[in-house]
Structures are given as C-alpha cells and as structure tokens.
C-alpha cells in the first residue's frame, strides 16, 4: 500500500498552520439601535417594519422576506446576493456560514473540473481495457469445449456489463440515438467501441431501463434494479459530459454481482 508521501495527490497538498486570534467584541441582548454598526445606513436602504426591528433587537439578527427589498436581492447563489448588496451600497456583514458555503462551492467546482478533464477519460480507458479482457475471456471459454456453460455465461455477462458502462460514457448513449444494429459501433472517433452481437440485446435493454427511469429486472444480473437512481443531479446536470459520467459511475456503484440467486431473495422472509 502506498504511503501518503507516495500518493500522486500528496504533491498538491502543503499543510499550513493557521495563526488566528479571535477578536470580536462581546455584546449583550437585547440590542440598542444606537449600538448597531451602520444601522441608520442599512435601514434607509432596506426599511424594517416594527416586528423586524423588535426581532433584531431581541435576537441580534432578523430574517426578512425578499418582498421587503422589492426582490432586488433575489438570487439562488449567495455570492450573487453579496454582489447585489455591494452594488446597492448596502452595508454588508459577512457571516461564517457564507464563507463555509463558498468553500463548498470551490470544492464542487474543483470536483467538476477533475471529473470532466481527468476522471472521465480515466474511467473510459479503464472500462475499455476491462471490456477487452472480458471479450478475451469469453472467446477463450467459447473455444474451450470443456469450459462449463456457467463459465461462458459469466464471461458473456462481464462483456455486457462493461459495454453498458462504455455506452453510458460515449456521446450517443441515449437509446433513441444509439448505434445502428447492423454495425454495433458507438460514439465519436475518440470515444468509440463495438457492442458485440452476443450482448447487444442485453446492453440495449439495460440502456432503455436506465433512460426509462423505472424499476425493472436487469437482463444481465437478473434482479430488480431501481433505474430511477440514474437521473443526474447536483452539479452533474451542468453539462452533458458530466451527465454521462454520473450515469456510468452510478452503474459501477450500484450494480451488485451476486454469487447465487438465493442471495437476492431469501427462502425465509425474516432473513431478508
């Protein structure tokens, strides 16, 4: 096992010991208007009704409806709200939760970039290499007349499994646009592979279920899978490439390779 110093990610990390000394003046509740910084300036630009004023004095903060500001600061992103407040010359107090949220956004953007520019290609290469190895196993089992039928079928399903993953990654994975059955060739020149005839029906059925977003019995693994979980969400909806990456990763993450059919449904319901 690699140590941290040998990890490829380690070279991007440099530990820094922060030197922070808290220096926030104490205050007691309820507040007095005369003791609130920028109070007059703020209330001239965003008027507060008596109820809001009383809550501010009592709690030290108040949450107001956006209608009070005539929807001037109606934004989904917190950084956009801060920008609009600055443009309106409204005094701003930057809270700790907003900084933590910006760290979250920064991490999310970093992850998106890594997934689009690095992980996507690596997953494609990995799946394609494993598809090739699986096809070699299948051909070897087929040529070996002494191979049990179970071995050949297992090898065939391995081919189907990786063909589904690659179909989800390539640009034409949508079954409404997928491959001509006569060729079985998918995708652009950079992301292309051939779906073998002996798994094509299973692959197309799996893709139909995934894009159909319903619970169905997997033709490859013979158990009920909730295909509604393959709907891209979060930052994975920001580009088609990330949507494809999401579906492929969900396929790898959710599919269970059970050894026996009785591991799916126990004979004794109490053991399920």
Q: Over the stretch 154-176, which tens digit does the pLDDT of each residue have?
A: 999 999 999 999 999 997 644 44
Both 225 and 173 in one domain: the answer is yes
CA distance 195 to 160: 8
Q: Is residue 37 part of a domain?
A: yes
206 within 8 A of 219, measured Cβ to Cβ = yes
Alpha-helix runs per DSSP H in the chain: 39-45, 50-59, 78-87, 96-114, 120-143, 149-169, 197-212, 240-254
For residue 31, the 8-state DSSP code is P
Q: Which residues pair with 216 in a beta bridge?
A: 225
Start-to-end C-alpha separation, the chain: 36
Check if the beta carbon of residue 215 is closer than 8 Å to that of residue 224: yes
Residues 89 and 184 reside in one and the same domain: no
Mean pLDDT in residue range 234-258: 95
Contact of 175 with 142, CB cutoff 8 Å: no
116 and 144 part of one domain: yes
Is 258 among the domain residues? yes
226 shares a domain with 117: yes
In a domain, 26, yes or no: no
Q: Which domain holds residue 89?
A: 32-93
217 in Cβ contact with 199 (< 8 Å): no
pTM (global) more than 0.85: no
Torsions phi, psi for 93 (to 5 deg): -115, 115
What would the pLDDT profile of 81-117 be if each residue is shown by its tens digit?
888 889 889 888 888 888 888 889 899 999 999 999 9
Q: Are residues 55 and 185 in the same domain?
A: no
Identify whether residues 167 and 70 lie together within a single domain. Answer: no
Among 82-91, 120-129, 237-246, name the one with the lowest average pLDDT.
Answer: 82-91
pLDDT at 68: 62
Cross-strand pairs, 225: 216
**Would you state the pLDDT for residue 27?**
85
In a domain, residue 269? The reply is no
């Amino acid at each position: 096992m690699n140590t941290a110093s040998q990890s490829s990610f380690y070279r991007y990390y440099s530990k820094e010991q922060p030197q922070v000394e808290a220096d926030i003046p104490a205050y007691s509740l309820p507040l007095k208007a005369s003791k609130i910084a920028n109070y007059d300036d703020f209330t001239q630009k965003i008027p507060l009704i008596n109820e809001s004023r009383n809550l501010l004095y009592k709690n030290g903060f108040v949450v107001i409806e956006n209608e009070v500001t005539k929807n001037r600061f109606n934004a989904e992103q917190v950084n956009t709200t801060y920008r609009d407040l600055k443009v309106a010359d409204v005094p701003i107090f930057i809270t700790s939760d907003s900084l933590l949220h910006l760290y979250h956004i920064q991490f999310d953007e970093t992850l998106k970039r890594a997934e689009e520019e690095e992980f996507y290609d690596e997953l494609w290469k990995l799946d394609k290499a494993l598809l090739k190895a699986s096809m070699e196993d299948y051909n070897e089992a087929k040529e070996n007349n002494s191979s049990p039928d179970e071995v050949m079928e297992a090898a065939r399903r391995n081919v189907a499994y990786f063909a589904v993953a690659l179909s989800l990654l390539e640009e034409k994975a949508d079954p409404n646009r997928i491959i001509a059955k006569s060729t079985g060739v998918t995708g652009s020149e950079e992301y292309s592979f051939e779906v073998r005839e002996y798994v094509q029906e299973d692959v197309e059925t799996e893709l139909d279920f995934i894009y159909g977003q319903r619970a169905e019995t997997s033709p490859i693994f013979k158990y009920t899978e909730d295909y509604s979980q393959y709907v891209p969400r979060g930052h994975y909806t920001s580009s088609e490439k990330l949507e494809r990456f999401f579906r492929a990763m969900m396929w790898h993450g959710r599919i269970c390779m059970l050894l026996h059919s009785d591991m799916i449904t126990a004979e004794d319901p109490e053991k399920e």
